[in-house]
Structure 1
């Protein structure tokens, strides 16, 4: 598989940054040419890459080939080499996954294979659940940093059996690196254009005969490529700090893993510009208006495992706390276009979420011929979401409480020598309380509502071993997304609960892994039918917000694979086709009625990615005893897709190319990177108010930088 690259665009005379990127590449590439092919060297270089990969997509250790549904796995080494700095970046590189975010730390809307909220109605309305080290979190936290991770799995199709609520479309399973008995770690430093910097380190090892520990830290930041028209400085300068500590106690058949993590993001903001953006995009705000934006997420968990003779008991107790403050709004240019009056229209939102959870399960051991797991999950969530309209003084103060209980089980049993049956079922109960206070023009109105419901989710699958290296599978699954309350209500009438959403999915696929693990291929065709998915309507002119339901349908196909050739060359990538449509009309939506037959927003017909990597040990030079050259060229293509459920207009497709070249010697690596190498000026998102008022934000252009990594 190959893709044309316009070489002329690479050779256009430009900034010193372009010259730096080309100079680094030219300096390193000749070194690669002096190396002679050596099969033994290849084997040594690939030893780590070809290690057996296991996943925990079904709460136990399995080979990806044996999982009877679609699954994409990104290893920690690929996360780092690809500079996938947060979960959102990983999702954008996963076939069949779409993510819409406006740049804030709290607004990610994830769709898998065209399934997911048409627009997210609340933080509780996650069609995709995110699990970090076995702790379920909202996909709203997809902006969290990917530091010191072991792997990230994207599970496709309803995952309500094992991952429970809010997994109507799929699940994101993040596993961080755990303490080991060996003393090891790394230091990683980066610096690049537009203030980009990253400092990251981790260290771990044995602390005593029974205790091991690991600690990882990250500090990062950058400058916005959108300037403030008043002082010419970057509109925002977002930063992030993160720390994670892990302690592992092990004694015989019992182990306990304690994890404490904190991540804090500052100054991230929803930047919305009046289109056209111009060559030097800017906003007309008072300087520092977004300096108070902040999100802090804390996670504490204890995982206890005890192995019996032929089974395992696991308990995960967790508490997460998320505090958010984010100012959003329109600048003077946009309000002039909308209302004929230049002013700053600002709305600070604040939220606090506290979630306590307990998962207790009994499962088979990884080597068992019959896979099975059964468990009980309890979750209690308390959160608030408040908004203040500075121009009018109006306020909305909202509090939400959710109690969720679930019992679940899944098994895979042999029906014949090569045929296996998988069946899973979960039954859930939910209670929700909502209280709101609305203050407008000196008057106040309060509101209180309650919801209770119970529901079943599950799946059944057949898998057939065509050969020892190839499996076929077919799966039917049912997912459910509970009823709830709109986070963005501005008046009591808008707080009427939205309906629950249900999805029925059929999928047929194959998975292949060669005996030497150099070739891995997977593919699937699928159909999803969703009833009453969630749609948030917003009218830019009146500020009215409504939560309405609409049916959708998506059909598509995916192909994903990787091939590690001889002589240090490897190729990986994926291709996705999706025909996603809204199948029922939705009338009375703020911002315009939605017609049956409209395309599902943010879902392109075609998307794909390809990565070419090369690694070669060189002849000694410059006094370096064992120099090794590596290079990684990544390509991503996203097709055109509608910007909203009304299909007012399409967001144009784009291509993005990233490059990384490095030189290793011993435990040290020096590297250079170029993000958006071809300087593609694509739109990240667009919003429609009326034909003459379209807003959005451009993506960052080409930037380059250098990095250093030391492992021990």
Structure 2
């Protein structure tokens, strides 16, 4: 199947691209090939989808300015990364983990790699690079009637390159500032007329550019100062009958990631902190935190590296995807997935001779899932019906010695069984009705244990089970082949649960949350499909929204979960792509967002009227891509991110507001007839300094990505 170059910014309410655009070569249109949606369960044709989806394709993902799949968000409206390593991605101001700790429990948005559902820790760290990745799809808003796992906030589907029956190979080498090194190799071929394979691997490493002088004596210093990542994977395609009507695709991948920490200490973090300008990342080192965030500590202690974690995650994914076409109208798909993530957590001084105040721990999470669905598409009638089952097991422990020996244990076992479906019917010319529903059963058991010096203070088992019905209704109107409106209503849900604050073992519980989402979308194509424009408006009404609160400012180990009685979020997205010639594409996107807690009081503080933490009130992206496979080429992107509120921390009645910021990414190079391409690049070209999080004025802050300049060599044959 021919793949088209990246032309689509998939706009607002849907993908604004015709599935095949065979256009006149003497006009403004060009043959754009075919775009296929992998995560859209109702159809793989973006011209028929009513999902609010944004897509980054292979050509964009191959750019050296896109180091990770999260970097592709720079082009999308109302999509951005989380505020630090221990958080997920953000869709419409909602973190994929919700506003809750992500170590245990169900996330608000799901992440899939080649159809395999990822764990929370596997989403934070694990598969990161974009080498040999075909597509990243971001679905905004509830996905309950079309997804295996109910995703209240949205979902991301990452698809790596599938095997083909033709020999292919590519190599990629990158070198940039701070000793950034990256190598990627991929090779595929056929084993027989009905069996093909593809194998690939990627490795990257980069040194930190922050200052950590007091940590250099610790044995884990080398692990801490270097951002390390690698991934190896293999895929096997089998056509049992020799025809495309039946396919079996097996995939396996193994990933490792150990990212560096971008937290720095401000002048008010401790009595001897030199301030943000020194870019001191050893916030628990010889900065002498005898007073930290306003809390006095014993003067005998001059450093606390026990609080500085070094975290490394390995992720293993295995998937079996079977598709069978009974006819041109009816297709069966069965997806079996297994994912396991293991995150080791050690304080940077753990294992160093003479160090007795240390921390060690581990998160282990595993998901086994099975989804089966039928798709029917025949003229005015389209429908999808599916069943889903998953079993998730989570284990975590943390041992810490300071003035006492504290041991905490958390575990969870979650069973999810669901039936889901959606029907779309053209009841009159141009008019189509949409009805869908999900019946979801969840059985969740969470266990929590905490002991200090052998004295057990918490030892609980909390069970939660529920059956919910989540409806969807909508109507579509197409007043021409290239113009369409859609109005939909859909509900989302996440179960309640319990946990303990890992710093003191205090038990907390929280109720289930629900959301009602109203969405109006429009898409249009103009100038013989060379210009696509789309927009959507959305309003989301939340009940019992689960919100993370820090009991101690700047201390994630003090986090607990509370319920906001009621909250709202609403906004708009518009995305535009224009290809005036075969060698030039220009694009732009605007995301607008308003969020508000209508009724939320915790710890004696009323947070009503405040926005959601980490929810930018606006973002704007503009850019261009010029060139072709051979000859000179250039790309540029400007991304503006509006203000957002920092995290909610107990005792802080009005959390800080993060300033807006603008970043510029550019690249240019030359493609040779031999298949080689050389690219010079710069990310954050103007070296804009910005914060993603700050605990208090001049306290603890998380720096955004700094400038990187480098060179890449690609060779395809």
Contact 1:447 1:492 in 2 (8 A): no
Quick one: distance in 2 between partners of 1:286 and 1:686?
Answer: 19
* Cα pair distance change 1:586/1:694, threshold 3 Å: same
Quick one: distance in 2 between partners of 1:486 and 1:90?
Answer: 34
The reply on whether 1:128 has 2:109 as its aligned counterpart is yes
* Cα pair distance change 1:166/1:325, threshold 3 Å: farther
Contact 2:586 2:624 in 1 (8 A): yes
Q: Deviations over 1:63-116 (max 9, x none)?
A: 324222321111121122263222322335421124324235xx3253435576
The reply on whether 1:571 has 2:552 as its aligned counterpart is no
Q: Which moved more, 1:679-688 or 1:84-93?
A: 84-93
Q: Which moved more, 1:288-297 or 1:384-393?
A: 288-297
Q: TM-score, normalised by structure 1?
A: 0.84
Once the two structures are TM-superposed, the CA of residue 612 in structure 1 deviates from its matched residue by: 1.3
Q: Which moved more, 1:368-377 or 1:254-263?
A: 368-377
Q: Deviations over 1:159-178 (max 9, x none)?
A: 11122545111111222211
Quick one: distance in 2 between partners of 1:92 and 1:385?
Answer: 34
Contact 1:109 1:119 in 2 (8 A): no
1:87 aligned to 57, 69, 91, which one?
69
Contact 1:92 1:99 in 2 (8 A): no
3-state secondary structure, aligned to 2:61: helix
* Cα pair distance change 1:639/1:229, threshold 3 Å: same
* Cα pair distance change 1:465/1:46, threshold 3 Å: closer
Once the two structures are TM-superposed, the CA of residue 669 in structure 1 deviates from its matched residue by: 0.3
Q: Deviations over 1:360-410 (max 9, x none)?
A: 111125x76522111111100111122222323211111110011001111
Alignment of 1:205-220 (within 5 A): 205-220=189-204
Contact 1:121 1:536 in 2 (8 A): no
* Cα pair distance change 1:583/1:65, threshold 3 Å: farther
Structure-2 residue corresponding to 1:35: none
3-state secondary structure, aligned to 1:278: helix
* Cα pair distance change 1:281/1:46, threshold 3 Å: farther
3-state secondary structure, aligned to 2:609: coil
Q: Which moved more, 1:507-516 or 1:112-121?
A: 112-121
Once the two structures are TM-superposed, the CA of residue 411 in structure 1 deviates from its matched residue by: 1.7
Contact 1:684 1:699 in 2 (8 A): yes
* Cα pair distance change 1:545/1:61, threshold 3 Å: closer
Q: Deviations over 1:491-513 (max 9, x none)?
A: 665243x1111110111111123
Q: Which runs of 5+ in 1 are unaligned?
A: 1-39, 332-342, 618-626
Contact 2:28 2:527 in 1 (8 A): no
* Cα pair distance change 1:418/1:209, threshold 3 Å: same
Structure-2 residue corresponding to 1:357: 369
Quick one: distance in 1 between partners of 2:500 and 2:534?
Answer: 39
2:548 aligned to 512, 515, 536, which one?
536
Quick one: distance in 2 between partners of 1:81 and 1:267?
Answer: 21
The reply on whether 1:400 has 2:412 as its aligned counterpart is yes
Contact 1:225 1:700 in 2 (8 A): no
Q: Which moved more, 1:504-513 or 1:567-576?
A: 567-576
Once the two structures are TM-superposed, the CA of residue 700 in structure 1 deviates from its matched residue by: 3.6
3-state secondary structure, aligned to 2:72: helix
Quick one: distance in 2 between partners of 1:90 and 1:328?
Answer: 32
2:57 aligned to 60, 75, 89, which one?
75
Structure-1 residue corresponding to 2:695: 687
Quick one: distance in 1 between partners of 2:432 and 2:558?
Answer: 52
* Cα pair distance change 1:101/1:244, threshold 3 Å: farther
3-state secondary structure, aligned to 2:66: coil
Structure-2 residue corresponding to 1:108: 88
Structure-1 residue corresponding to 2:462: 449
Once the two structures are TM-superposed, the CA of residue 528 in structure 1 deviates from its matched residue by: 0.7
Q: Which runs of 5+ in 2 are unaligned?
A: 1-22, 268-274, 287-304
Quick one: distance in 2 between partners of 1:698 and 1:221?
Answer: 19
Structure-1 residue corresponding to 2:270: none
Quick one: distance in 2 between partners of 1:488 and 1:247?
Answer: 44
3-state secondary structure, aligned to 2:62: helix
Q: Deviations over 1:235-285 (max 9, x none)?
A: 610111101100000123321100001111135447453353115434266
Contact 2:262 2:704 in 1 (8 A): no
Contact 2:406 2:451 in 1 (8 A): yes
Contact 2:103 2:363 in 1 (8 A): no
The reply on whether 1:548 has 2:562 as its aligned counterpart is yes
Once the two structures are TM-superposed, the CA of residue 344 in structure 1 deviates from its matched residue by: 11
Structure-2 residue corresponding to 1:294: 312
Structure-2 residue corresponding to 1:7: none
Contact 2:30 2:582 in 1 (8 A): no
Contact 2:144 2:420 in 1 (8 A): no
Alignment of 1:339-488 (within 5 A): 347-364=359-376, 369-391=380-402, 392-444=404-456, 445-486=458-499, 488=501
Once the two structures are TM-superposed, the CA of residue 124 in structure 1 deviates from its matched residue by: 2.4
* Cα pair distance change 1:45/1:461, threshold 3 Å: closer
Once the two structures are TM-superposed, the CA of residue 641 in structure 1 deviates from its matched residue by: 1.0
Quick one: distance in 2 between partners of 1:238 and 1:191?
Answer: 14
The reply on whether 1:255 has 2:269 as its aligned counterpart is no
Quick one: distance in 2 between partners of 1:555 and 1:267?
Answer: 33
Structure-2 residue corresponding to 1:643: 646
Once the two structures are TM-superposed, the CA of residue 579 in structure 1 deviates from its matched residue by: 1.0
Structure-1 residue corresponding to 2:325: 307
Quick one: distance in 2 between partners of 1:637 and 1:256?
Answer: 43
Quick one: distance in 1 between partners of 2:477 and 2:613?
Answer: 36
1:607 aligned to 619, 626, 631, which one?
619
How many residues of Structure 1 are paired with residues of Structure 2 in the alignment?
642
Alignment of 1:191-340 (within 5 A): 191-230=175-214, 236-250=225-239, 251=241, 252=243, 253-266=245-258, 268-269=260-261, 271-275=263-267, 276-283=275-282, 293-309=311-327, 310-327=329-346
Structure-2 residue corresponding to 1:706: 711
* Cα pair distance change 1:229/1:544, threshold 3 Å: same
Once the two structures are TM-superposed, the CA of residue 482 in structure 1 deviates from its matched residue by: 1.2
Once the two structures are TM-superposed, the CA of residue 326 in structure 1 deviates from its matched residue by: 2.7
Q: State the Cα RMSD in Å.
A: 3.0
Q: Deviations over 1:613-642 (max 9, x none)?
A: 11169xxxxxxxxx5111011111001111
Quick one: distance in 2 between partners of 1:706 and 1:82?
Answer: 8
* Cα pair distance change 1:660/1:139, threshold 3 Å: farther
The reply on whether 1:665 has 2:672 as its aligned counterpart is yes
* Cα pair distance change 1:544/1:192, threshold 3 Å: closer
Once the two structures are TM-superposed, the CA of residue 292 in structure 1 deviates from its matched residue by: 5.5
3-state secondary structure, aligned to 2:581: coil
Contact 2:573 2:590 in 1 (8 A): yes
Q: TM-score, normalised by structure 2?
A: 0.83
3-state secondary structure, aligned to 2:40: coil
Contact 1:205 1:213 in 2 (8 A): yes
Structure-2 residue corresponding to 1:14: none
Structure-2 residue corresponding to 1:18: none
- Structure in which a larger fraction of residues adopt helix: 1
3-state secondary structure, aligned to 2:214: coil
Contact 1:643 1:685 in 2 (8 A): yes
* Cα pair distance change 1:595/1:224, threshold 3 Å: same
Structure-2 residue corresponding to 1:621: none
1:656 aligned to 645, 663, 676, which one?
663
Contact 2:671 2:677 in 1 (8 A): yes
